[in-house]
A and B are shown apart, each in its own frame.
Chain A
């Protein structure tokens, strides 16, 4: 059936609204990249024109002088370690919470889910006090442990749902074939859970890469800053240095390009991971 004129008009309006909203985001990303290659004068004088001679010097400045190279490595280390640790800890827990038969299983699962409702700022001060006492304040190890722990509720919730959606006859077959419970987990369930594990890994990687409120509270030393924190301090320092906006946008580009690249290739998986957690 061909759409009627009426329908065509409706679809046209839908297209314009959605295209406008989505187009704005694309415009933002491209504009920031463009702005990062300009001189301050041309950024303010002609904000919508392409830079005549791309100023790559903005990047080398921000990478070296503003230490974004170090911040990049810090972010990469902390976030990678957190995500790997998270998988090592959360996969077995989620498996047991989904497949185990023991009293209090449901209660324990709810106990983890409850964590999603705790406002992170509530933890700021006790965490600082506690980490100072055990000597992990202002350290990337401490930050990693906190990142890992606060990501547990969401991760366990999503993974538990994923394990529950897997068919149980494979397990019974493996048991009949003589696998013990550990072998069932390692050889049967873990490979099946790989897509779910990859999804939560990506979501947590992006989420922690972008995080800055916890690092703002826990990290003090300049050489231990993460990228997002680096942007924040660069922004804050601009009040004194008079405003090197192109340099700031070069920093912004450095922090946003990795997650956008991940998103371009894996948007379907990320979106389905989030909706898997929220919509049951």
Chain B
């Protein structure tokens, strides 16, 4: 391959990636050291002022708490379900491909479309859940306000888990499918059940796949915006605030303009640093000699 071709083939991708992804990412580190509304006024240098302000901002900490909740509780639920579905789908039942396709399906529908449906489910008084509870005579349950500030994050999490589980299931399932079937045959002859086989064969054999999927979830959870934002509806509730949503509100405002561009960018930089740290910790925690087969 000639040198000229290497350069010509790579140039457009590298330039676009530099210009629209890496340069803005790098610029945000710089921008986060200024106070500016972005409207022609000269940005004022504040050094780490934005970060110092962030650390004493209770709303920022609230968004971090929500993020941690999504990351951990959501993560446990998603991976628990993904493992369960992998065991069930691989237990030799009929319709493996169909179930796999159905479980993944929410991922192909626009998140904002799904959020309208979930809003209708949880709607107070007229919502689907209220209706179902009324119908079966659980009047107390029908009166629960699922979107009240203290409940809304859990209601949102249920929808989020439902959306995300499919993605992680198909990845773990694809890993499990690469394991030679004679290992399972041998285990079955020894009298192992599906759960035992999953724990003793599947998990160790696909450990690196599990590690990668966990990294993907961490990246996803830290930058979470679309579903909670749309789920909050016209008035974003503080209880649903994630760092990304807070960044958006500080940068562009919601109803009232805010335009704290430097401050908003500092939130983004924090998210990026969280991602790096979390991925490093996770890679370290899941490190292990690769099983060859």
Contact = CB atoms under 8 A, between A and B. Distances in A.
Interface of A: 10-11, 14-15, 17-19, 21-26, 28-29, 31-32, 35, 44, 47, 88-90, 92-93, 95-97, 99-102, 108, 112, 115-130, 145-146, 148-150, 152-153, 156, 181-182, 185, 206, 209-210, 212-213, 216-217, 227-228, 231-232, 235-239, 245, 248-249, 252, 255-256, 259-260, 262-263, 267-268, 270-272, 274-275, 278-279
Contacts of B102: 18, 21-23, 25-26
A152 B20 CA distance: 11
A260 B8 CA distance: 38
A182 B9 CA distance: 10
Contacts, number: 280
A274 B269 CA distance: 28
Given A14-B91, A260-B109, A267 B20 contact: no
A53 B1 CA distance: 66
A44 B115 CA distance: 18
Interface of B: 1-3, 5-6, 8-10, 12-14, 16-17, 19-25, 27-28, 31, 38, 84-85, 88-89, 91-95, 97-106, 108-117, 119-120, 126, 128, 131, 162, 167, 170-171, 173-175, 178, 194, 209, 212-213, 216, 219, 222-223, 225-226, 229-230, 233-235, 243-244, 247-248, 251-252, 261, 264-265, 268-269, 271-272, 275-276, 279
DSSP class of B's interface residues: helix, strand, loop or mixed?
A: helix
Nearest to A101: B1
Contacts of B98: 22
Given A115-B21, A213-B226, A124 B5 contact: no
A89 B171 CA distance: 27
Contacts of B222: 119
29 contacts: A18-B93, A22-B103, A47-B128, A89-B16, A93-B10, A96-B9, A102-B1, A102-B6, A119-B223, A119-B244, A126-B28, A150-B21, A153-B17, A156-B13, A185-B5, A210-B108, A210-B109, A213-B229, A227-B110, A231-B113, A231-B116, A235-B230, A255-B113, A259-B108, A259-B109, A263-B108, A274-B170, A274-B171, A275-B170
A236 B230 CA distance: 9
A125 B23 CA distance: 12
Contacts of A274: 167, 170-171
Contacts of B100: 271
Contacts of B120: 35, 245
